Amino acid sequence: MQNIDDSAKPGVLEVERRYIVDSRYARRLKEKLLALGFAGDREVRQVDEYYTSEHEDFIATEECLRIRREGRRATLTWKPPTSAAMQESDEFWKEEVDLDVTGQEDVVKRLLRALDFIPYVVVDKHRSILVGPKGVEIGIDRVQGLRSMFVELEVKTADVEEGLEAIEATVRQVGLTKAPINKVPYRDLVWQSKTD
């Protein structure tokens, strides 16, 4: 296996907040972001296969173990369980450990199965990515199987308070203050949509 991705350095947290929007709002928001000078407007498709395990319920703990395919690249990602403080907040702040497993997905899946990890659900999403001030990345997401669209704000930082302030400032700047916040992971929303 290859080395841990440089973007996942120890001590750096991924701080994020997600909103629920409809497609018309998403189009208007994207136009506004471009007018405000947000950079990027990169379109990607991310297919995430999530796992839980026989020895610990990752769904209950909101721990994340997934294989993400984006283009030709594949990444194995782990994020720790959600803390009590995060459950009371509108945001999540977690360390993200990424391992490039491009070309080795079958080996990684065999390894996970041998360690009693169980495939849970696949999340297939199209994301428009724009980057604003203070490094806040905005993803406008259409998730296969879900009716709503989502806007995710994310910043990587070693200082949680600094990250929360950057997200809040961006929310005010782009006018997301009245949109409903979504705290349920895509993983669980897709699972629920399949079992309803």
- What pTM was computed for the model? 0.89
How would residue 91 be classed by pLDDT, with cut points 50, 70 and 90? confident
CB-hemisphere CA count at 13 Å for 175?
9
Q: For the chain, what percent of residues have pLDDT higher than 70?
A: 95
Tens of pLDDT, residue by residue over 177-189, are 999 999 999 999 9
Tens of pLDDT, residue by residue over 125-165, are 999 999 987 789 999 999 999 999 999 999 999 999 999 99
Domains along the sequence of the chain with CATH: 13-195 (2.40.320.10)
| The pLDDT value given to residue 2 | 34
